[in-house]
Amino acid sequence: MSRSTPPIVGWLVVLAITIALGLFTGNERLLTLAIQTYTLAALATSWNILGGFAGQVSLGHAAFFGLGALLTRELWLGGRPLPLAILIALVVTAATAAVVGVPMLRFRGIYFSVGTLALGVAVFITAGNLRPGISSLPAEALRAYEFQGRYYTALGVVAVTVAISAWLRRSKTGLGMMAVREDEEAASATGVNSFAHKMAAFVISATLAALAGAVFGYFSVSYYPQFPFSVTWTFDAITVVFVGGVGTIIGPLVGAVFYVVGRDLLSSTFPEVQVIVFGVLFILVVLLLPGGFVEGGHRVFAALSRRGTAQPTGSRAEGERETMEGKESV
DSSP secondary structure string for all residues of 304-315: HHHHHHHHHHHH
Q: Which helix (H) or strand (E) holds 136?
A: strand 135-136
Which tens digit of pLDDT belongs to each residue from 184-240?
999 989 899 999 999 999 999 999 999 999 999 999 999 999 999 999 999 999 999
Beta-ladder partners of 136: 222
Calpha distance 136→23 (Å, rounded):
27
Class for domain 8-288, per CATH? mainly alpha
Residue 110: what pLDDT?
Answer: 93
Residue 293 has pLDDT above 90, yes or no: no
Calpha distance 325→327 (Å, rounded):
5
The three-state secondary structure class of 135 is: strand
Which tens digit of pLDDT belongs to each residue from 12-36?
888 888 888 888 887 888 999 999 9
Calpha distance 96→87 (Å, rounded):
14
By the 10 Å C-beta count (0-12 exposed, 13-18 middle, 19+ buried), 116 is classed as buried
What number of residues does the chain have? Answer: 330
Classify each residue of 149-159 as buried b or exposed e, where b means 16 or more C-beta atoms within 10 Å of its C-beta.
ebbbbbbebbb
The three-state secondary structure class of 213 is: helix
Position 266 confidence tier, pLDDT thresholds 50, 70, 90: confident
The three-state secondary structure class of 6 is: coil
Higher pLDDT, 20 or 5: 20
Residue 132: what pLDDT?
Answer: 87
